[in-house]
Amino acid sequence: MGRWAQRRRTGGGPTQTIVMVDAQITATTDARVRFSAAIDASQLVPGQFDSSPSVEVGDTISQISDREIEITFVSIIGGDTVLGYNGTNYPGLAPQTINY
């Protein structure tokens, strides 16, 4: 007996999880973040990003590219080592932290 073609279906599963892939401090009050998928900076809340150990929260967010944003903080974050995101309103983006 012969075999017949089998078809695979993809998609339809849970929403893709978007993660922070890289974070760098680019100026005394700025951090640039690259994500694993496209992200819309206008849909993010700056105050849901924090930098530690200074415990500064984001003030503004700028879109750099489809997967990259820049967060501006009010005070200096130059000595910080961890960036955290604690929001829950952006689809596929869960609370997470990344080292600078």
Ramachandran sector of residue 43 (left: φ over 0; alpha: ψ -120 to 50; beta: rest): alpha
Predicted pLDDT at 68? 98
DSSP-assigned letter for residue 48: G
- Its pTM stands at 0.83
- The domain spans of the chain are 20-99
CATH 2.60.40, domain 20-99, yes or no: yes
Of the chain, the end-to-end C-alpha distance in Å amounts to 60
42-98 pLDDT per residue, tens:
999 999 999 999 999 999 999 999 999 999 999 999 999 999 999 988 999 999 999
